[in-house]
Structure 1
């Protein structure tokens, strides 16, 4: 129990439950959106949200494995699960890019003041809440894993780790949105992934597109994660006073 308390349990469980409730509310709103034809246009977000939860679940498993006293077993399992967390992590902030579907699937007349239509705001607010949920899920799992890195290797290494994860995740989100690869393609098609990534990064035209998108995505991730990190740290410090 002392080891679990050191990793901020049971508080983390409470946060996970709160995120679960928030997810149910967001997905209920997604399900309730219907077009005049009766079609529910955003049901694919259920799958995207499930994938966004995978790194959170893995982060909890990493905490549990971290307290195991058998070093060899712990090291192997952390290495494997850590790799899985890294490749699935972009699925959480990826939900931010689902905002584009409002402008794709909402039928409006650009010559009219469509923004006075409450149906437009209903869809925009619903997908905005999904985007915010993705940011929260990503911030939670990154904070949890960064905390383990900090306990093992120190503060500086943990921040280098976090920034590298955010930079590479920006590229991962680009790949998911524009190239349409999945996290598991790393295992099923590793050779193809490496080859196509090399082609993308050596094509000057495509590289400019990648850098521009990743720059803004990285800014969003940083300005959302750092305040959450600092508030969590300050709350912990104030409790210790």
Structure 2
């Protein structure tokens, strides 16, 4: 799918003679970071013993995780497309969005496998929905407020202030809950399909 996405982008650049939508490559790269982090943590033999390291990596993972789901909001750029390339661009952006979103869902699955060693199933029924809500809030911070994951380090004071101000607004809460439910439904759907195949 990644090769397919990149191929579409190259074909579009060749046809139109411009690199509009090339930012999708960067967004897909950001979507891949949390997956690589959680996979790295899973293959560590000592992640159960070294809790400080585990929690630190999970914190970084959580900071980057919304990027996986954020990429679906790049569909907003379809309105900048020329009528002659509209349907091609729709397929192109949707393909990148699908890959990024799928990577995000898979990241949550990998996180769940790690979390199962620390928490029971009842706790996970609470943790996963909260995680999806936080991803929804992260998407809001990125798309609406235009923050990036690295603003946690480069601009932490303003980020904390804006988070405090935004969390009390109905618009932010509704967006975060709505997007969180959207993510959670895809997560549960994939889990049902996976469990069905396993049985």
TM-score of the alignment, normalized to the shorter chain, above 0.5 = yes
Distance of aligned partners of 1:35 and 1:120 in 2 relative to their CA distance in 1, 3 Å threshold: farther
Once the 2 structures are TM-superposed, how far is the Cα of residue 148 of structure 1 from its aligned partner? 1.3
How do 1:108-123 and structure 2 match up within 5 A? 108=83, 119-123=85-89
Name 1:185's counterpart in structure 2: 151
Name 2:197's counterpart in structure 1: 235
Any stretches of 5+ residues in structure 2 without a counterpart? none
Which consecutive aligned stretches of 4+ in structure 1 deviate over 3 angstroms post-superposition?
A: 34-37
After TM superposition, the score normalised by the length of structure 2 is 0.91
Match of 1:63 among 23, 42, 51: 42
Is the Cα contact below 8 Å between 2:5 and 2:95 reproduced in 1? yes
Distance of aligned partners of 1:101 and 1:69 in 2 relative to their CA distance in 1, 3 Å threshold: closer
Name 2:110's counterpart in structure 1: 144
CA-to-aligned-CA distance 1:184-211 (integer Å, 9 cap, x gap) = 1112222221112222234xxxx23323
Name 1:87's counterpart in structure 2: 63
Once the 2 structures are TM-superposed, how far is the Cα of residue 70 of structure 1 from its aligned partner? 7.6
Is the Cα contact below 8 Å between 1:56 and 1:141 reproduced in 2? yes
CA-to-aligned-CA distance 1:76-103 (integer Å, 9 cap, x gap) = 2111101001110000011110111111
Any stretches of 5+ residues in structure 1 without a counterpart? 1-21, 109-116
Distance of aligned partners of 1:127 and 1:227 in 2 relative to their CA distance in 1, 3 Å threshold: same
Name 2:101's counterpart in structure 1: 135
Distance of aligned partners of 1:197 and 1:40 in 2 relative to their CA distance in 1, 3 Å threshold: same
Give secondary structure in 2 for the equivalent of 1:128. helix
Distance in 1 (CA, whole Å) between partners of 2:14 and 2:71 is: 21
Task: Tell me how many residue pairs correspond in the alignment.
Answer: 199
Distance of aligned partners of 1:27 and 1:159 in 2 relative to their CA distance in 1, 3 Å threshold: farther
Distance in 2 (CA, whole Å) between partners of 1:136 and 1:214 is: 19
How do 1:1-241 and structure 2 match up within 5 A? 22-34=1-13, 38-65=17-44, 67-68=45-46, 71=49, 74-103=50-79, 105-108=80-83, 119-202=85-168, 207-236=169-198, 238=199
Distance in 2 (CA, whole Å) between partners of 1:70 and 1:234 is: 29
Greater C-alpha Rg: 1
Is the Cα contact below 8 Å between 1:62 and 1:78 reproduced in 2? yes
CA RMSD of aligned residues (A): 1.9
After TM superposition, the score normalised by the length of structure 1 is 0.76
